[in-house]
Chain A
Amino acid sequence: MHDELGVIPHDRLTGRQKLCRFIRRNPTMLAGGLLLAVMVVLAMCAPLVHTVNPVEMKPVERLRAPGAGHWFGTDMYGRDSYSRVIYGSRISLLVGLVVAAVTSTIGLIIGLISGFVRELDNFIMRVMDGIMALPDLLLAISFVALTKASVQNVIVALIIPQTPRVVRLVRSIVLVLREQPFVESATAMGARLPRLLVRHLLPNTIAPLVVQGTYVMASAVLVEAALSFLGAGTPPEIPSWGNIMAEARSYVRVGFWLLLFPGMFLATTVLSINMVGDGLRDLLDPRIARRMR
């Protein structure tokens, strides 16, 4: 039953044994996935899980330490910190997911075009270089501060700097693939451009794209928090971990719990996303994935 190295081949395992082996081989990915799932469930069930209306101000109860009734304490306006953190997860996760999804889609399209259509390649890459030349945080701050503070604008502000990286990734894969024999033979057989792109190139880009997508999501969640911290992020009446911490920054010594909990939630969420990303990368195809970095 065992092969030369003492390992049981995959197709000879039972379902349960396959699962156990999967868990043993990918502990980080599963741990990360589990954590992330918990966060997502909490976020989605916020209306059920929170205790107090997160935007209700009760100045009489301001800056109470964590205790009964207010598990994470209250902030400078008397709002319940626990409920705000729970609701804040919605914004942070939403921003992360949308930015990752949109960036991946736009990046994929532009990257495919750039890699395959040589005439446009130079121009597209110069524009991407231009965008990448600007430090992302500054670009995002400028965009949000110069338009209006809203979740949509934050999302757009985060998409702009992240897209060039996805484009570069997709393009590098396409550049390699288009020299491959199977592409040549497909072209020789008369396959037209769209068919080539979709049927032959697309499947090879999905895996690294998904992995990169997780990194983009992690980065988006962090940068959104940083933006709010600097005052150019989500408007303050919509709680997000970033602006909860931004408001809490002056209260480090008067109420450090205001900074502690959202920070912990943020770090945990980003950590879990990164762990899932790492695990996926190791799982899907080590060679292509390594080229990404």
Chain B
Amino acid sequence: MLAYILRRILATLPVMGIVVVFVFLLVRIAPGDPAAIIAGDYATPETIQKIRVGLGLDKPIHIQFQIYVMNLIRGDLGRSLHSQLPVRQLIQQRLEPTAALAVSTLTFAVCLAIPLGILAAWKAGSFIDRAVMVFAVGGFSIPAFWLGFLLIYTFSVKLDLLPVQGYVSFRQGFLPFIQHLILPTLTLGLIYMALLARIARASVLEVLQSDYIRTANAKGVRPISVLFVHALKNAAVPVVTTIGVGFALLIGGVVITESVFALPGLGRLTVDAVLQRDYSIIQGVTLIFSFVYALVNLLVDLSYTLFDPRIRY
């Protein structure tokens, strides 16, 4: 098992290597000049060139890459071109809101979607089943930002129940922390929930039709026990896979939700960095995201062993 984990971690290294090179080249080959953006609207071309030299952007690409890789090996992600703060510090500052949103969305979606999916599968063909399916397909078709605005308009503006924007750390008060997270979580969570409910229903349905379930029913095992002890464990693998695959979706949704609700998270940091051509931040965040994604995939694969003892590494 340990050997498997190590092998997996080693296998991600070439992948991340490709990612690093790809992003590094992409940002530099593309049009858009961070030096011009930094210098501001009224600066002269000489000033812009001076800034470009100061940031090291006038050096040939392979030299820049060399410097970057050397720093990377030492754990230095570089400095933001615009604010001159270390990229690591910027990421750390913005990590909490994104993590809070991701965790709360995942919790919300999983806690609601799985029971819904099970219910729909159990009562397959009934009205409840159809309702859940309509919700699942519909929820997955709604654009996140549209839903976000609708929720703000309804709950914050018209009903005045919740704050409009912003993020409050739980260290500054648990209640405002929750209050500020409710609408963003609902926005992202409803969509994620729709996806999960569908998968949960489908895999539980498939399991419910298998022989050992029929045997359990024939033996007189209580339906709840059948559902949760037997069916769920066996249906878990595809569901957990979807949670992992949906993680990439989550990141995309986080970017939009942070933009709509003004949450100072990693998603917005990246979008701003792309629009401002802040190469260091783009490279740093992409690296972090790829690493986390690989980690999530590893955890998902490892969790299979919990659910299905036949799977062994």
Contact = CB atoms under 8 A, between A and B. Distances in A.
The answer to A–B direct touch (Cβ < 8 A) is: yes
Contacts of B14: 126
| Main SS class of interface, A | helix
Interface in A258-276: 259, 263, 266-268, 270-271, 273-275
A120 interface: no
B282 interface: yes
A213 B290 CA distance: 26
Interface in B124-159: 133, 137-138, 140-146, 149, 152-153, 157
A8 interface: no
B166 interface: no
Interface stretch (A76-84, A137-145, A192-200): A137-145
A75 interface: no
Given A142-B282, A147-B31, A293-B238, A259 B149 contact: yes
A134 B202 contact: no
A253 B153 CA distance: 8
A198 to B, nearest CB: 30
A256 B271 CA distance: 26
A44 B122 CA distance: 43
A113 B92 CA distance: 42
A134 B19 contact: yes
Contact of A293 (B242, B255, B270): B242
A226 B252 contact: yes
Nearest to B149: A252
A218 B141 contact: yes
Given A130-B19, A130-B22, A267-B143, A290 B252 contact: no
A129 B285 CA distance: 18
A128 to B, nearest CB: 10
Interface range on chain A: under 10, 10 to 19, 20 to 34, or 35 or more? 35 or more
A132 B39 CA distance: 36
Interface residues of B, number: 50
Interface string A265-293: 01110110111001000000000001001
B31 A137 contact: no
B194 to A, nearest CB: 10
Nearest to B191: A222
Interface in B153-202: 153, 157, 199, 202
Contact of B256 (A127, A229, A252, A266): A229
A26 to B, nearest CB: 13
Interface in A210-224: 218, 222-223
Contacts of A270: 140-143
Given A130-B15, A267-B143, 11 more contacts: A133-B16, A133-B19, A133-B290, A138-B255, A138-B271, A138-B289, A146-B26, A148-B31, A274-B137, A274-B140, A293-B241
24 contacts: A126-B18, A129-B15, A130-B19, A134-B286, A135-B293, A138-B271, A138-B285, A141-B271, A141-B274, A142-B282, A146-B26, A146-B274, A226-B252, A229-B143, A249-B145, A263-B143, A266-B146, A267-B146, A270-B143, A271-B137, A273-B141, A290-B206, A293-B203, A293-B241
